[in-house]
Amino acid sequence: MTVYLVGAGPGDPGLLTVRAAQVLARADVVIHDRLAEVSLLDLAPAGAERIDVGKSPGGPVDQDAINRLLVERATRGQTVVRLKGGDPFVFGRGGEEAGALIEAGIAWEVVPGVTSAIAAPAYAGVPVTHRGLSTSFTVVTGHSRHAVDQETNWKALAAAGGTIVVLMGVAHRAAIAEHLMAGGLTPETPVMAVRWGTRPEQRTVRTTLAALGATELAPPVTIVVGPVAALDLTWFERRPLFGRRVVVTRARADASALSERLRSLGADVIELPTIEVTDPLDGGASLRRAAADLTAGRYQWVVFTSPRAVERFLPLLRDARSFASASIAAIGPGTAATLESHSLAADLVPPEFVAESLVAAFPCADGGGEVLVPRAAVARDVLPEGLAAKGWAVEVVEAYRTEVGRPDPAALEAAGDADAITFTSSSTVTNFVAIAPGVVPPFVACIGPITAATARAEGFEVDVVADEHSIEGLIDALVSGLRAVPS
C-alpha cells in the first residue's frame, strides 16, 4: 500500500487541497500532527483509525518512532495518510519521513499543502511580494536558540533585501530582531505578526524591528519583516462575523449549509446538533404505501413541510411521473429548492414559510379530495386541521422521527462561551434546553415566529427573528443584530 505525506494547510479547512481530500477519503489510518483544524479528520472514513502523534511545544515526539509507525502500518497493507500542518516539506520533517519510506521500500506520495508562511500573511492583508517593495521572500525557522544563533545567516538575509518570514520564532523574537539589525536592517523596519493565521481566532499585531522583542506575542505566530509588513490590505478580519462564536443547533446532516455560510462571514462555528433523525417506527412501511397510492392516483395534493420530508419520500417513487396530476405544495424556499434538485417544481409556496400561511393560500376542496402530508412524527396540527377545515381529507404519514441529539462534550462546553446561538425549529430549542439545562445564550436568533415563540416559552430572550423564514434570512438577521453588540 501507499503512504501519503499530506499537507493539511495552515488552519482554514477550506484551504485543504482537492488531492488531500481524495486521499483522506480512502485512508485506513490517519497519523496526524497537532492540527489547527481537527475537523479535517472527519474527511477520513468513519472506520479509519486516527493516531495522534502531535508535537506540542516543549514536548517533542520522537521522529524515529513516527517513521517506524508509518513503515509498520504500510507493511500491514494499509493505506496510510500522514497528515501534517501546513506543507510536509516546509519545516515539517516530511523529507525525513520520505527517506525512511524509501529505505523500507514503501510506496509513497507527497501531497503539498498551503504553507502558513504565505497564507497567514495573506489572510492578514500582507502580500509577501509587492511591486516596488519586495521582489523576493525568504522563509526561516526560529524554533530554537541554536538555530537562531548558529544555523541562520541573518546578516546575509538582511543584506539580501526582500521579505523575511519567520516561522516558530516567538520565543526568540528579540534575538532575531537583534541579529537582523546587526546585519543592517533599520530599527524602524516594519514587522507584522499574525497569530492563528487563517482561523477565526486570527489576531494581527503591527510593530517595528526595534520593538519586536517587547511586543506581547504567543504561539503560533507567523512573523513578517520588511517593507511589505507596512501594507494593510485587510480583508479576513473585516468580515461581518469575524471573531464571533456562533452555535448551530441543527441536525448534523442539515448543519453544513448554515455552518459554511457562517464561516464564510468570519464566524467560529460550533456545531451542536440537538436533533438526531431516525427512521419511522414502522420502518417506513406507511411511507412506502403512500408512495404506491400516489402512483395509483389517490392524492390530489402532496404537501412537503421540510427538505428532509422530500428526501425521505422521493426515493420511494419510480420517477416524477408518479405525481401524475397531483399538485405539489412546499413550505419554505429550502423545501422548494430540494424539490427542484429532483426536477420537481412546487405548484404552491406560501408567501410566509409557516403552516398558517400555507393553509391560507391553499385552495378549498371542490367536491372533496385527498392530501398527502409526509412529515416528522411530531409536528404541529395547524396544517392538517387547517386543510381539513377547507374540505380536504388529509393523510399524515410519518416520514422520519427526531430525537434529542447527543453532541460532543467538547462542543457543549465550547457552546457555553459562544456569542450567539441559532435556532431553526421549535425542536432545536426544546432539545437544547434538554441537552444544556440552565445555559442561557447571550444572543438568540430564530428562523421564524413559531421558533421564537418556543424560545420565549423556554425563558430565552429572543434578540432577532428572520424576516424571511429561511437560512439566508436567519443569517441576515444574525449579522444585523450582532452589529449592535460589542465583540
Active site residues: 33, 55, 168
C-alpha cell at 361: 393560500
The owner of cell 399524515 is 396
Total residue count of the chain as it appears in this document: 487
Concatenate the DSSP letters of all residues of 388-425 into one string. Answer: HHTT-EEEEEEEEEEEE----HHHHHHHTT-SEEEE-S
Helix axes 449-457, 426-435, angle to 10 degrees: 30
The owner of cell 390530489 is 300
Query: Whole-angstrom Cα distance, residue 375 to residue 312?
Result: 9
Please measure the distance between the N-terminal and C-terminal CA atoms of the chain and give it in whole angstroms.
50
Query: Whole-angstrom Cα distance, residue 465 to residue 463?
Result: 7
Cβ contacts of residue 58 below 8 Å, gap of 6+?
none
Query: Whole-angstrom Cα distance, residue 442 to residue 418?
Result: 8
CB 162 within 8 A of CB 172: no
Strand partners for 101 = none
CB 402 within 8 A of CB 275: yes
